[in-house]
Amino acid sequence: MDQNFLLPQYNLILIRYAEIWLKSQKIKIRMLKYLMGNIKNILKRKGIPFNKYQMSKDSSRVFFFFNNKDLPSAINVIKNAFGVHSLSPAIRTSDKLKNITERTIEVAKDILDRKDTFALRVKRSGKHDYTSMEVAQIVGKAVIDNFPNYELKVNLTKPKKKIFIEIRGEFTYIFSQIIRSKWGGLPIEPQKKILVMDIGRLNDLISGFLLMRRGSEIYPILIDLTEDESDIEDRISNWKEIGEYIPKNNIRLAKFRIYDVLKKVYSELDEKQYFCGMCRLIRFDLMSKILINPKFQFYEKIKAVTDGISLNNSDYCPDSIDLETLAINTLNLSHPVFTPLIGIGENRIQDLSKKISKILKKVNYCPFKPVNQVFDAEKLKELYTSLNIDNDLLFIVESGLEINLF
């Protein structure tokens, strides 16, 4: 963000949205209320004060009002909020042409230099006794006349500087910069609850993140496959980075350790080529038991589960086995399983990881790493139904821990 465009008279952030605008009026208003609530919550969590927030009468903009000194921190938060398309620090005045001219000259004084070319970009919504073109002509002439020694010129195609004027009903918003948001997407809505199964793959976190970007409220389930929990702090650290995007004050993840069960199955399994498929079915069986346990805040409210499977051979888990095993997930879990990364290449996933946070860490999550794995649905069903691990899984559920991230 160019601090030179963050003028001392700015006291609000004008927020635009794109995809929300395509919804019906009823859904749009609902989403905008969630968008404002999400921004409000994350500002409060970050300790960034604001004076008020509101929606324009035509539902096309959202405004948050701040003290000028808090604008840089607020911009950094709001540009990461899901549902935001772009934003601008701005000032507000009335829809009177005299006031629009005076405040635009104030902005021009701070951003224009000698021999600059400039353009006014005017938008208007509502009933007024002037057109957008008339505003641009009258105010543009006033700017040039007010700075006779600057040798300013209007250039509508490739101006060096731009001043934006949005007249919306009885108010006008004036600004000099449009900041694109980092993610776009849709605002998070609490009725769209999804369980994120994380076995240690960065793909699992990114899958949850992408569904959050589509408006889902995520509940991370950390499944520990290791013997000594050696990477647990790195995994919690990774989730804290994801948590920066979550608009809740109390963010928790639930942790379950399944190493002992996997070790037991691995030692007793003669046909070890089926171990990865068995591991996957164990994990989904565990999910089904977690989801009906009232010990956890989300029980009986989850609509779906997400999984980080991707067909790019970037993880210890063999992708082909994971893909085939999806067909028999319903053996243990009735919820739909979303796989947002399934067709995304490794380079793209790495780019997403860096865009989310440059400090996400890869972990050595699987101590077994079996080779030459195969899939056979009927054989896996037969092997799994012969296991005697139901009580073990119930014990794991009861021994689960909830960890506060913030």
The verdict on 344 and 248 lying in the same domain is yes
Is 188 within a domain? no
Q: Specify the pLDDT at position 187.
A: 97
Is 229 domain-assigned? yes
Same domain, 51 and 82: yes
Instruction: Domain of residue 38: give its range.
Output: 3-180
DSSP label at residue 216: P
133 and 272 inside one domain? no
In a domain, 87, yes or no: yes
- Burial of residue 127 (number of CB atoms within 10 Å: 0-12, 13-18, 19+): exposed
What is the tally of structural domains in the chain?
A: 2
Residue 298: predicted pLDDT: 65
Q: Find how far residue 14's CA is from the centre of its chain.
A: 19
Cα–Cα distance measured from residue 281 to residue 197, given in angstroms and rounded to the nearest whole number: 13
Q: Which residues pair with 231 in a beta bridge?
A: none
Please answer whether residues 403 and 289 qualify as being in contact, where contact means their C-beta atoms are separated by less than 8 angstroms: no
Last residue of a domain, one of 120, 154, 180: 180
DSSP state letter for 308? -
The alpha carbon of 57 is separated from its chain's Cα centroid by a whole number of angstroms, namely: 27
**Statement to judge: residues 205 and 293 lie in one domain:** yes
Whether residue 126 sits in one domain with residue 160 = yes
At 288, the amino acid letter reads S
Length in residues, the chain: 406
CATH number of the domain enclosing 172:
3.30.2130.30
Asked whether residue 254 falls in the same domain as residue 379, the answer is yes
**Is 187 a domain residue?**
no
What are the residues facing 287 on neighbouring strands? none
Going through 72-204 in order, the beta strands assigned E by DSSP cover 86-94, 117-125, 153-154, 161-168, 171-175, 179-180, 193-198
pLDDT of residue 101: 98
Cβ(221)–Cβ(253) below 8 Å = yes
Question: Which residue, among 214, 278, 218, has the nearest Cα to 242 in the 3D structure?
Answer: 218
Could you list the pLDDT tens digit for every one of the 406 residues in the chain? 455 568 999 999 999 999 998 899 999 999 999 999 999 999 999 999 999 999 998 889 999 999 999 999 999 999 999 999 999 999 999 999 999 999 999 999 999 999 999 999 999 999 999 999 999 999 999 999 999 999 999 999 999 999 999 999 999 999 999 999 999 999 999 999 999 999 999 999 999 999 999 999 999 999 999 998 878 999 999 999 999 999 988 888 999 999 999 999 999 999 999 999 999 999 999 999 998 888 776 666 888 999 999 888 778 888 878 888 888 888 888 899 999 999 899 999 999 999 999 999 999 999 999 889 998 999 999 999 999 999 999 999 999 998 988 8
Contact indicator for 166, 173 with CB cutoff of 8 Å: yes
3-state secondary structure at position 401: strand
- pTM surpassing 0.85? yes
CA gap 289, 396 in Å, rounded:
10
- Report if residue 186 sits inside a domain: no
What are the Cα distances from residue 142, in Å, to 53, 158, 260?
Answer: 32, 21, 77
Measure the CA dihedral 334/336/338/339, to 10°. Answer: 50
- Same domain (yes/no): 145, 277: no
Measured distance CA(359)–CA(367) in Å, rounded? 24
Q: What's the pLDDT at 199?
A: 94
* Cα gap 46→43, rounded to integer Å: 5
Q: What are phi and psi of 207, to 5 degrees?
A: -60, -45
25 belongs to a structural domain: yes
Find the angle CA(111)-CA(116)-CA(118) to the nearest 5 degrees. Answer: 75
Residues 241 and 112 in one domain: no
Domain contains 133 = yes
